[in-house]
Amino acid sequence: MWTLAARWEQEFGMSDNLVLEHLRAIGGDIAEVKLDMRDMKHRMTALEISMAALVATEGSHYASLASRVDRVEDRLERMERRLELAPA
């Protein structure tokens, strides 16, 4: 009767120790990928925070410009009425 280890060694030419070595190496590679993913998540979060701040800043600039344009329009309308260029 064949044991699983003997069959594995005969079919694939690998002993249990060699398989364990490969599994350990794969486990180490997976650990590195996990660390890289954690780093990428932190970097992505920082990027999202920066983008949110930029969008908020741009929104504030837009609101400020819109307010200034509204004031200029009001002044222009008053000037047109004074000069009787527009109906009162």
pTM of the model: 0.53
Give 34-65 pLDDT, tens digit per residue: 999 999 999 999 999 999 998 888 888 888 88
In a domain? residue 30: yes
In this prediction, residue 78 carries a pLDDT of 92
pLDDT above 90 for 20:
no
Q: Is 43 domain-assigned? A: yes
Let me know if residue 16 belongs to a domain. yes
Question: Is 2 inside any structural domain?
Answer: no
The residue type found at 46 is A
Q: Exposure of 9 by Cβ count < 10 A (0-12 exposed, 13-18 middle, 19+ buried)?
A: middle
Under 8 Å between Cβ of 80 and 86: yes
- Taking phi over 0 as left and psi of -120 to 50 as alpha, with beta for the rest, 87 belongs to beta
